[in-house]
């Protein structure tokens, strides 16, 4: 595996992360008719979380993606992200994961009726990193950079910020390119030859 094929795109809310990842997929698809691209959406639907507004966001994102990148297939994988990446592995395919922040949130702070499990989080983290390390498939991962603000007051929030930051470091170590999005502008943080 050539880790320079992977990219981590970080940024704040509405910074242009998802649109940039979609542009990567569009460019990939334009390079050959035999190429495929799949977006792995990690958000749990409102039926699971009780959040009707999330369902509206998911529907809007689906419609926007379909208009911008018609050949980009979408699958939902709120759990088992590592095994999903392994299952989709194919050098002719690009995978976009949108987003690691929601994935982590749902594992560490699951909706009502689900119990958080540190053992499950550890297993999922190991599986994700192994899938990235071993993948013949280029993967573009989207995540929120939330560690730039004020230190949160609650222990749970501080733990989440720390865990997400450590996940970003581990994922960035397996990516040849790391991009920070600010107000729709791309800043290259890392670009391995």
DSSP at 177: E
Q: State yes or no: 17 annotated in a binding site.
A: yes
43 is in an annotated binding site: yes
Any known ligand binding at 11?
yes
| Alpha carbons 192 and 175: distance in angstroms, whole number | 8
**Is 78 marked as a binding-site residue?**
no
Q: Which residues of 28-65 are buried (b: 16+ CB within 10 A; e: fewer)?
A: bbeeeeebbbbbbbbbbebebbebeebeeebeebeeeb
Number of Cβ within 10 Å of residue 27's Cβ equals 12
Is 12 annotated as ligand-binding? yes
Q: Is 157 annotated to bind ligand? A: no
Has 143 been labeled as part of a binding site? Answer: no
Tell me if 184 is assigned to a ligand binding site.
no
Question: According to the annotation, is 35 in a ligand binding site?
Answer: no
Flag whether 63 is marked binding. yes
The catalytic position among 6, 61, 122, 123 is 61
65 is in an annotated binding site: yes
Q: How many helices (H) and strands (E) does the chain have?
A: 7, 7
Residue 136 near residue 91 (C-beta atoms within 8 A): yes
Distances (CA, A) of 111 to 6, 69, 132, 174: 31, 31, 27, 30
Long-range contacts of 122-126 (CB under 8 A, 24+ apart): 124/79, 124/80, 124/81, 124/82, 125/167, 125/170, 126/82
Query: Can 168 be counted among the known catalytic residues?
Result: no
Give the single-character DSSP code of 4: G
- The residues assigned a catalytic role are 61
- Sequence ranges of the binding site for GTP: 11-18, 41-43, 62-65, 76, 98
């Amino acid at each position: 595996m050539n880790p320079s094929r992977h990219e981590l795109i970080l940024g704040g809310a509405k910074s242009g992360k998802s649109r940039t990842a979609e542009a990567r997929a569009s460019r990939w698809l334009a390079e050959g008719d035999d190429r495929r691209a799949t977006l792995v959406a990690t958000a749990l639907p409102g039926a699971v979380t009780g959040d009707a507004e999330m369902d509206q966001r998911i529907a809007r994102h689906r419609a926007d993606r379909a208009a911008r990148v018609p050949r980009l297939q979408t699958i939902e994988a709120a759990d088992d992200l590592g095994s999903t990446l392994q299952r989709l592995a194919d050098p002719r395919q690009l995978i976009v994961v949108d987003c690691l922040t929601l994935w982590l949130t749902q594992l560490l702070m699951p909706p009502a009726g689900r119990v958080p499990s540190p053992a499950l989080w550890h297993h999922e983290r190991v599986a994700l990193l192994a899938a990235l390390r071993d993948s013949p498939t280029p993967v573009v991962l989207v995540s929120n950079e939330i560690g730039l603000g004020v230190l949160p007051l609650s222990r749970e929030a501080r733990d989440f910020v720390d865990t997400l930051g450590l996940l970003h470091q581990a994922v960035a170590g397996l990516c040849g390119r790391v991009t920070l999005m600010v107000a729709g502008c791309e800043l290259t943080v890392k670009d391995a030859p």
